[in-house]
Structure 1
């Protein structure tokens, strides 16, 4: 084989090697780019999943016992279970079971203001407390329908910010059943107030 042919073969071999190396470099760069894209896509997916989970996270609600409901409860009047039932139907809300054991030796009866709620907040993991009370003059006059008018009021407390707000309620109702109907009719307003209180 002549020197020229050997030289040509050597040049050809070098070119092939360089070409292969360039292809390998391109392959490696492409792989790095693919990996980077996958990492970026995974990060975006994780971020979106986190945002969706935050949005979908249920608001934890604790129904406080009616603050002045003892006398009424003796006559089977208690509208708190109706509010609880309606929120259990709603998406985006989780009703926390009332933790009687955890709250032993802590005053939870008669609570209708944030200043009395702090010891409960320390023991219970809930975002919102719904506090309730009867209004009207039915207390002590149950059975005397002519002189009796009924009413109720709800107050919500954001346990993180300690902001509270009076929400749904009604007065001058003819009987207890009207309280139940009014709560069902206005439950969406109560839900909006809960979402809005920051």
Structure 2
């Protein structure tokens, strides 16, 4: 599948007659909210784990030196905490371009912090897209993040802001925090 998923996403769901829909953010959508929303609530989804396995050729890296950003990987028993935004379907005109580098919109069940549930959409970069990088040792991921810079800034900023946001949500994302730890040790150990 092409890395540019803009048109594919625009044909994926029919928003006819829908005034608002939940959107689940688990990466930069938690802290970089550059879209209007009607409501914002902490939430989680079941059976998915956050992983720095997606390449970023357009925001946090370049085609020659891609950065790494998060996607979701199916994992039975896992729980991914993030932020849910109730948005107008018009918001996807912007988000489909922002999330175009391999991400597709999927329907998911959200669990809000009060225990209630709702249906929503989530962007996931699956392993069949051109920008998928896959699993690597934490230190290797940190090394790639430390050196990558793209139009949206240093890849390290993405990692550090995500880790900070996850702590604020009370999430214990061991994958993100392990890579953050490797990144912070980099100057003294020269990853």
Question: TM-score surpassing 0.5?
Answer: no
**Superposition TM-score, scaled by structure 1 size:** 0.23
Q: Which has the higher helix share?
A: 1
**Superposition TM-score, scaled by structure 2 size:** 0.23
Q: Which has the higher strand share?
A: 2
